[in-house]
Amino acid sequence: MDTNQYLEIFIDESNEHLQSINDQLLELEKNPNDLAIVGEIFRSAHTLKGMSATMGYQDLSNLTHKMENVLDGVRNDQIQVDSDMLDIVFDSVDDLEAMVLDISKGGNGARDVSRVVDLLQAVELGHVLKDREEQEDHSGNSDDIQLDEFTRAVLEQSAEQGLNNFQVEVYLNEDCLLKAARVYMVFDVLEQIGEVVKSQPSAETLENEEFDHSFKVLFVTEEDEEEIAGRINKISEIKQVKVSTYSIDKDESHSEPEIEQKQNINEDEKQEIADKGYKGKQTANKTIRVNIDRLDVLMNLFEELVIDRGRLEQIAAEINHLELNDTVERMTRVSGDLQNIILNMRMVPIEQVFNRFPRMVRQLSKDLNKNIDLRIIGEETELDRTVIDEIGDPLVHLIRNAIDHGIERPEERLARGKEAKGNIELRAYHNGNHVFIEIVDDGAGIDREKVLGKALSNQVVTREQAEKLTDKEVYELIMASGFSTADIISDVSGRGVGLDVVKNTIESLGGNIAIDSELGKGSMFSIQLPLTLSIISVMLVEIQKEKYAIPLSSIIETAIVKKEEILRAHNKEVIDFRGKLVPLVFLKDIFNVPLELEDRDYYSLVIARKGDKMAGFVVDSFIGQQEVVLKSLGGYLSGVFAISGATILGDGQVALILDSNALIK
46: annotated active-site residue: yes
> % helix / strand / coil in the chain, to the nearest 5?
45, 25, 30
Residue 363 one-letter amino acid: Q
Q: Taking the CA atoms of 345, 346, 347 and 353 in sequence, report the sign of the dihedral they define.
A: positive
Distance in angstroms (rounded) separating the CA atoms of residues 117 and 616: 64
User: Would the CA dihedral through 51, 54, 57, 61 be positive or negative?
Assistant: positive
Which uninterrupted H or E stretch holds 165? strand 164-172
How many other C-beta atoms lie within 10 A of the C-beta of residue 112? 9
CA nearest to 610, candidates 409, 466, 472: 472
Beta bridge partners of residue 523, listed in sequence order: 441, 517
Whole-number Cα distances in Å, 155 to 72, 87, 219, 387: 28, 37, 9, 38
Peptide bond into 201 cis (omega under 30): yes
| DSSP 8-state class, residue 643 | E
Annotated catalytic residue, options 164, 165, 401, 512: 401
Give the C-alpha separation, 382 to 398, whole Å.
20
DSSP state letters, 452-486: HHHHHHTTSS-HHHHHH--HHHHHHGGGSTT----
Active site residue 661: no
**Cα 503 from Cα 524, distance rounded (Å):** 15
Indicate which residue of 46, 65, 138, 397 is catalytic.
46
Identify whether the C-beta of residue 151 lies closer than 8 Å to the C-beta of residue 218.
Answer: yes
Which are the contacts of 60, defined by CB distance < 8 A and separation ≥ 6? 48, 52, 96, 99, 100, 103, 109
C-alpha count within 13 angstroms, C-beta hemisphere, residue 641: 8
Do 530 and 511 meet the contact criterion of CB atoms below 8 Å apart? yes
Q: Omega of the bond prior to 257 within 30 degrees of 0, cis?
A: no
Residue of 68, 390, 438, 476 marked active site: 68
Phi then psi for residue 110, to 5 deg, are -70, 140
DSSP state of 496: T
Residue 108 known to be catalytic: no
Catalytic residue set: 46, 68, 401
